[in-house]
């Protein structure tokens, strides 16, 4: 996966097509919901000599358990919403996996998590901007500046000088 560069800063993730890691001796496939076609194709492409495991709709406790004994030569493939992808990536990082061991398929929706710079609350399932913060209630402008640590996009109060003059509502992509 690469990152989009805006004014020299790494920001919104860019999801490139995922292929099986030929050097991997173990493949773990995890889908947030129903298994998408792209993930199923990767799963079907595994050879019989490779150990394979797959989960759909796995709970966080199942994910953590699966990652605790993850082999150094293993690769983790994830499919789902962007918040799910980055939550599981965080679990993988905590379990000791390096970034080369985690492959993210493109998110299945435009849903985002927002990090409010005013009250530090993360608001979930945001699909348009501006959006009301679930913590302080400020109408937030959604940016493309992404924090991999928080799995959320940075947001700030829209038109802070005149809160009655809000920008037009628009979908995020």
DSSP class of residue 164? Answer: T
**Higher per-residue confidence, 34 vs 37:** 37
Does residue 91 have a pLDDT over 80?
Answer: yes
* Residue labelled with tokens 């082999």: 71
19 and 50 fall within a common domain: yes
Domain boundary among 77, 104, 131: 104
Segment 93-129, tens digit of pLDDT: 989 999 999 999 999 988 999 999 999 999 999 999 9
CA distance 56 to 47: 21
CB–CB of 71/26 below 8 Å? yes
116 and 88 fall within a common domain: no
What's the pLDDT score for residue 9? 43
24 and 40 fall within a common domain: yes
What's the pLDDT score for residue 7? 43
Segment 59-70, tens digit of pLDDT: 778 788 878 888
- At 8, the pLDDT band (50, 70, 90 cuts) reads very low
86 and 15 fall within a common domain: yes
82 and 23 fall within a common domain: yes
Across 27-43, average pLDDT: 88
CA distance 144 to 12: 5
- Can you give the residue range of the structural domain that contains 142? 112-171
Work out the number of other CB atoms within 10 angstroms of the CB of residue 89: 19
75 and 117 fall within a common domain: no
Helix (H) or strand (E) holding 128: strand 128-129
147 and 72 fall within a common domain: no
* Average pLDDT over all residues of the chain: 86
Alpha-helical runs (H) found in 50-134:
60-68, 82-94
89 and 118 fall within a common domain: no
For the domain that residue 38 is a member of, what is the CATH number?
Answer: 3.40.50
DSSP class of residue 50? Answer: S
Count of structural domains, the chain: 2
Across 144-150, average pLDDT: 89
123 and 82 fall within a common domain: no
CA distance 171 to 173: 7
What's the pLDDT score for residue 63? 80
Domain boundary among 64, 84, 104: 104
Across 50-65, average pLDDT: 76
Q: Which of 6-10, 86-90, 131-135, 164-168 has the lowest mean pLDDT?
A: 6-10
Does residue 40 have a pLDDT over 80?
Answer: yes
- Kindly state the percentage of the chain with pLDDT values over 90: 47
Domain boundary among 104, 123, 157: 104
* Residue labelled with tokens 């379990």: 95
What's the pLDDT score for residue 74? 92
8 and 69 fall within a common domain: yes
CA distance 37 to 19: 13
97 and 25 fall within a common domain: yes
């Amino acid at each position: 996966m690469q990152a989009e560069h805006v004014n020299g800063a790494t920001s919104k993730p860019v999801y490139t097509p995922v292929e099986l890691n030929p050097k991997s001796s173990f493949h773990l496939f995890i889908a947030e919901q129903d298994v998408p076609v792209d993930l199923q194709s990767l799963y079907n492409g595994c050879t019989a000599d490779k150990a394979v495991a797959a989960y759909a709709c796995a709970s966080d406790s199942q994910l953590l358990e699966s990652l605790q004994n993850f082999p150094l030569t293993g690769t983790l493939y994830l499919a789902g919403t962007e918040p799910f992808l980055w939550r599981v990536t965080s679990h993988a990082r905590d379990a000791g996996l390096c970034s080369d061991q985690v492959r993210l398929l493109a998110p299945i929706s435009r849903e985002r998590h927002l990090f409010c710079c005013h009250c530090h609350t993360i608001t979930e399932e945001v699909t348009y901007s501006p959006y009301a913060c679930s913590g302080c209630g400020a109408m937030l402008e959604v940016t493309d500046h992404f924090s991999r640590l928080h799995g959320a996009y940075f947001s700030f109060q829209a038109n802070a000088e005149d809160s009655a003059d809000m920008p037009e509502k628009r979908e995020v992509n």
